[in-house]
Amino acid sequence: MMQSSELTTKAKEYLRIAKVDLVIGYLEGTTKDRRRAGFIRSAEEADNLVLDERCEDNLAVYLVKENLLARYKKVAIFLNPAGIRTINVLASEEQIEADKIVILGFEITGGDVRILDGESVDDFSELIAQLKLKAFDSEQMADVDEIDSLDVDKRFEYWRGEFSKCIKCYACRQACPMCYCNRCIVECNQPQWICRSAHTLGNFEWNIVRAFHLAGRCVGCGNCERACPVDIPLMKINRKLGKEVLDRFDYFVGSSKDQQAVLTSFKQDDPQEFIL
Amino acid sequence: MADNFEPRIIAFVCNYCTYAGADLAGTSRLKYPANVRIVRLPCTGRISPLFLLKALQKGADGILVSGCHPGDCHFISGNYHARRRWSIFRTLLDFLGIPKERIWFSWVSASEGRKFADLITEFTENIKQLGPFTQYDKLIKEMSE
Ligand code: SF4
Ligand code: SF4
């Protein structure tokens, strides 16, 4: 606990010396076991900041909503490694200016909070390189492999069951830092690509499109799955595709702010064993 | 059932290679099954995954996606971009239970009329073996109820 208070103290100090004019951090939630995002503008308010093992949400999502960054000169933000990678993705997609962001980095491991050294996103490149080495190991992929081992029609049944619960609330989209389009494809109706109603067919289509638009962009922060009110295991799909881009294209999402998106780039000798 | 099942097959092809190849198959009087409906796009890069979803939504039993061989794209790199996209998209569909066997990808050049005709013949045979995509059909029916 000693450690985590170091980081909130740092945030307070940043505001006091006007190094930043906004801190995005965690506050106590409506119930004891929950945390919520806090937007802190003064050193006094900073006393309310908390940092503990319940601070799971990727706060970077707020950087791209409501044009927030336009209103502040510099923003300090509490981020775990997935959140730090988010900064790289958003910077590479020219959604944010990385030098406006001061990172308050932390990592939660087994209920403990560990403070990460660094301030600008480039300071964390070594950490991210290390993450790449152990990304999507067999332990993390056990539940995905389980689905893969089923026959294709069993897989269809499994997902039909899951997607039939979807109510098309789009919370998964709103909670995702990489889902920042002002006009989402599901809201286009001329032509209407995806069935509007929360029926299983349309839910299938929606979930396919959501996953595909996040392919090679998802950092695995888990915001989408936590936001889903009907507990659809969206992370299974995200991890499946995350491993796919890593295995096929040696691409680890959010490795640097100059990284080109995997689906807007190519190599002449990309694998094509499936093309007749 | 399987005997008189005539699958609905949609082919999304690029204008400069595969469509020209299909044209050559026609002018060379090569026979191939009439199950295929061809949709011509300017480039493989224009073949959005949404088209594939739409085809499924409208009851396709099989989908062929085809364009210029690597190096031959009229727009230089459309097919390279498409290739990456297809490879991820088919992995996703397969993971969710939409069989790989129902969606084929190929390179067919303007001179490969024979390849096009053979491909359509083989694909149609394969889809006939698989039968209609009943799981998806069920969803479509449920929705229109
Ligand atoms: S898809 Fe989900 S896990 Fe991936 S970046 Fe978006 S919110 Fe995070
Ligand atoms: S959050 Fe869950 S229920 Fe809501 S649209 Fe996303 S998958 Fe469907």
Q: Are B102 and B8 in contact (CB under 8 A)?
A: no
Q: Which of A146, A153, A201 to mutate against chain B (most B CBs within 10 Å)?
A: A201
Ligand 1: nearest atom to the Cα of A225: 2
In angstroms, the CA B123 to CA B135 distance is 20
pLDDT at B2 over 60: no
pLDDT (0 to 100) of residue B142: 87
Q: What are the beta bridge partners of residue B40? A: B13
Provide, rounded to the nearest whole percent, the portion of chain B with pLDDT above 70: 98
Predicted model pTM: 0.93
pLDDT (0 to 100) of residue B3: 66
Among residues A73, A75, A61, A63, which one has the least CA distance to residue A103?
A75
**Helices A200-213 and B134-144, interaxial angle, to 10°?**
120
pLDDT (0 to 100) of residue B39: 93
Cα separations (Å) of A263 from A13, A19, A180, B84?
Answer: 41, 37, 17, 6
Q: Are A272 and B69 in contact (CB under 8 A)?
A: no
Of B89, B98, B140, Cβ closest to residue A156: B98
pLDDT (0 to 100) of residue A2: 47
Ligand 2: nearest atom to the Cα of A228: 1
Name the residue ranges covered by the structural domains of chain B. 9-144
pLDDT at B121 over 90: yes
CATH architecture designation of domain B9-144? 3-Layer(aba) Sandwich (3.40)
In angstroms, the CA B14 to CA B44 distance is 5
The stretches in chain A having pLDDT less than 70 are 1-3
Which residue among A164, A165, A169, A237 is best mutated to probe the pocket of ligand 2, counting the most ligand atoms within 8 A of its Cβ? A169
Name the residue ranges covered by the structural domains of chain A. 2-130, 142-251
Among residues B96, A194, A178, which one has the least CA distance to residue B88?
B96
pLDDT (0 to 100) of residue A239: 97
How many CB atoms lie under 10 A from the CB of residue A271?
13
Q: Are A101 and A77 in contact (CB under 8 A)?
A: yes
Q: Are strands B36-41 and B9-14 parallel, antiparallel or unpaired?
A: parallel
A167 CA distance to ligand 2 centroid (A)? 6
Q: What DSSP state is assigned to residue B76?
A: S
